[in-house]
Amino acid sequence: MQFIDQAIIDVKAGSGGDGISAFRREKYVPAGGPAGGDGGQGGNVVLEADDNLQTLLDFKFQKLISAENGHRGGPNKCTGASGDDTVLKVPCGTEVRHLSTNIILGDLTHKGQKLIVAFGGKGGFGNARYLSNSNRAPEKFTEGKEGEEWTLQLELKLLAEVGIIGLPNAGKSTLISVLSSAKPKIADYPFTTLIPNLGVVRRPSGDGTVFADIPGLISGASKGIGLGHDFLRHIERTRVLLHLIDSASNDPINDFKTINEELRSYGHDLISKPRIFVLNKKELLDENDIKKLLNKIEQLTGKNVHVISAVTRFGLDNLLSSIWNELGY
């Protein structure tokens, strides 16, 4: 399934039905008055969060979404039927914006949460509405109002409690694959991961916690370079960031500083989120090199840094304990 996390759609609510002009014509009612009914209400366009969906793919090719028009009024003061609402299912975590004004209309984060994004037009009045002492046989009626029509931007921000970040090839996909049942593509070259991967990691209580492997950031990602800018939004909702550093890279210290700078440049308080720092690929360095690197990173962060090997699973139990403590579990 293709992962699509942004879509632009046009929505049009149904127009209200027209009122009508009609008079009573029953036998033995010589002075039958106005009896034209009102038109029905136009249908709304509604978005509903569905936790079974993970992508906005359905909206990539569905550009105009409309609701049913209300029906015209009937004789004997009968009101026309209202138009049916059009309900669109979107993934939990979908943010809805008005495209031209950039105003956020809503943020659908919970299963079953609904948001009306276009209201149907009101039905027109039938001539029975215009009966008065001065006009006993009005012929006036009104047409239904047009439904709202907007262009919207849908933006999916994944709902994960833990976001795994780091430069390409830091071992993020390997880590999430050994901690959970997720099966991301893994290879020894950068940008293997082109989409965020979600995995559910079991806590000691048996409950699951969602981890997100965010595609590799690079220098300048916050300004639109590389893949990271498209996916930085997915860590906005996370409670904890797992900052993974490749201990076997050419310059792990610079790698650390690069990710720090991208979080700071992107804004949205990402730099202030709780972070757990992790040196990965312990198996590729000797003990002395690991200790020297560990001391440097701890001096820069002012925090304890975990040393792990995602491949051999070394240090993962201690790492998970720190994550559960940070989350308050």
Higher-scoring residue by pLDDT: 312, 199 = 312
pLDDT of residue 233: 74
Element (H, E) at 156: strand 149-156
Question: Under CATH, what is the fold of the domain 162-327?
Answer: Rossmann fold (3.40.50)
Mean pLDDT is highest, among 92-96, 178-182, 206-210, 225-229, for 92-96
Residue 164 pLDDT more than 80? yes
pLDDT of residue 160: 81
Residues 6+ apart with CB under 8 A from 199: 176, 177, 179, 180, 181, 182, 210, 211, 212, 213
Among the listed residues 286, 305, 281, 284, the one whose alpha carbon sits nearest the alpha carbon of residue 170:
281
Residues 6+ apart with CB under 8 A from 15: 42, 69, 70, 120, 121, 144, 145, 146, 147
- Give rounded-to-5 percent helix, strand, coil for the chain: 20, 25, 55
| Average pLDDT value over all residues in the chain | 86
Three-state DSSP class for residue 104: strand
Q: Backbone phi, then psi, for 85, in 5-degree steps?
A: -70, 150
Q: What is the mean pLDDT of residues 173-180?
A: 86
Question: Under CATH, what is the fold of the domain 1-156?
Answer: Spo0b-associated Gtp-binding Protein; Chain: A, (2.70.210)
CB of 177 within 8 A of CB of 183?
yes
pLDDT of residue 208: 82
Q: What is the mean pLDDT of residues 243-266?
A: 90
The phi-psi region of residue 318 (left if phi > 0; otherwise alpha if psi is between -120 and 50; otherwise beta) is alpha
Please state, in angstroms and rounded to a whole number, the distance separating the CA atoms of residues 238 and 224. Answer: 21
Q: Backbone phi, then psi, for 307, in 5-degree steps?
A: -115, 120
> If you ran DSSP here, which 8-state letter would residue 42 be given?
P
Looking at the chain, the whole-number percentage of residues with pLDDT higher than 90 is: 56
Residue 186 pLDDT more than 50? no
Please state, in angstroms and rounded to a whole number, the distance separating the CA atoms of residues 199 and 211. Answer: 5
**Residue ranges covered by each domain of the chain:** 1-156, 162-327
Please state, in angstroms and rounded to a whole number, the distance separating the CA atoms of residues 62 and 10. Answer: 9
Task: Provide the pLDDT confidence category of residue 231 given band limits of 50, 70 and 90.
Answer: low
Q: Backbone phi, then psi, for 149, in 5-degree steps?
A: -140, 125
Task: Provide the pLDDT confidence category of residue 151 given band limits of 50, 70 and 90.
Answer: very high
Higher-scoring residue by pLDDT: 26, 101 = 101
pLDDT of residue 212: 83
pLDDT of residue 29: 66
Task: Provide the pLDDT confidence category of residue 48 given band limits of 50, 70 and 90.
Answer: very high
CB of 301 within 8 A of CB of 277?
yes
